[in-house]
């Protein structure tokens, strides 16, 4: 039985498409059931359309509070009955109430070796600190930002002369392998009926 996977995006959606491409494999025990964006113009929606995947937009600018937006997000997700919700470049902080409703099902990818550099500007911060390596982390989502249990990490070297853009490209490539591997690990552990 395939686990049902919803993917939340805000932008380009390259991690979302990497997950969806991986799920095309016959032996991958998961399938995408909903792509959800908080931005109507998110580039990743084009992939969803081209692939004929179910997608929805819940535009956060139409809501007066985080709680109201998260309630709408919850209602958009419910009919899809996801076993796992992958945050893939979803750039909204989720309220504790929302996170509690989906506890154990929410995972995120973050462009640093957590617990180092939670939050934004991770590449600049790694370069500024003179680090010789950085990477990416897939982790469970808890109410505290970028703090949940780690599912997997990939390390990426920082080379002399690297710019934040160069690092971003290298880390993103690692993300595209790490996220599907972690999803496979996760759905291998759970047994949806």
Residues at the site binding ligand GAR, with contacts judged by CB under 6 A: 9, 11-15, 88-89, 109-111, 136, 172, 175
Say if residues 126 and 134 touch (Cβ distance below 8 Å). yes
Q: Which residue among the candidates 110, 128, 139, 176 is catalytic per the annotation? A: 110
Which residue, 19 or 78, has its beta carbon nearer to ligand GAR?
Answer: 19
Q: Is 128 a catalytic residue?
A: no
**How far apart are CB 30 and ligand GAR at their closest, in Å?**
18
Which residue, 89 or 180, has its beta carbon nearer to ligand GAR?
Answer: 89
**How far apart are CB 2 and ligand GAR at their closest, in Å?**
22
| Nearest residue to the partner ligand GAR, using Cβ | 89
Which residue, 153 or 192, has its beta carbon nearer to ligand GAR?
Answer: 153
**How far apart are CB 105 and ligand GAR at their closest, in Å?**
18
Catalytic residues: 110
């Amino acid at each position: 039985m395939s686990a049902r996977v919803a993917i939340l995006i805000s932008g380009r959606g390259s991690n979302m498409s990497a997950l969806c491409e991986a799920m095309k494999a016959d032996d991958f025990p998961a399938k995408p059931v909903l792509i959800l964006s908080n931005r109507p113009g998110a580039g990743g929606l084009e992939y969803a359309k081209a692939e004929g995947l179910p997608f929805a937009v819940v535009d956060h600018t139409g809501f007066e509070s985080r709680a109201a937006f998260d309630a709408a997000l919850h209602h958009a997700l419910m009919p899809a009955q996801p076993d796992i919700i992958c945050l893939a470049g979803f750039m909204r902080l989720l309220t504790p109430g929302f996170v509690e409703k989906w506890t154990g099902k929410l995972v995120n990818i973050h462009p640093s070796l957590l617990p180092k550099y939670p939050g934004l500007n991770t590449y600049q911060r790694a370069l500024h600190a003179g680090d010789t390596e950085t990477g990416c982390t897939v982790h469970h989502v808890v109410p505290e930002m970028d703090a949940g249990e780690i599912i997997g990490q990939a390390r990426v070297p920082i080379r002399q002369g690297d710019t934040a853009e160069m690092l971003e490209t290298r880390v993103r490539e690692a993300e595209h392998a790490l996220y599907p591997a972690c999803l496979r690990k996760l759905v291998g552990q759970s047994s949806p009926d």
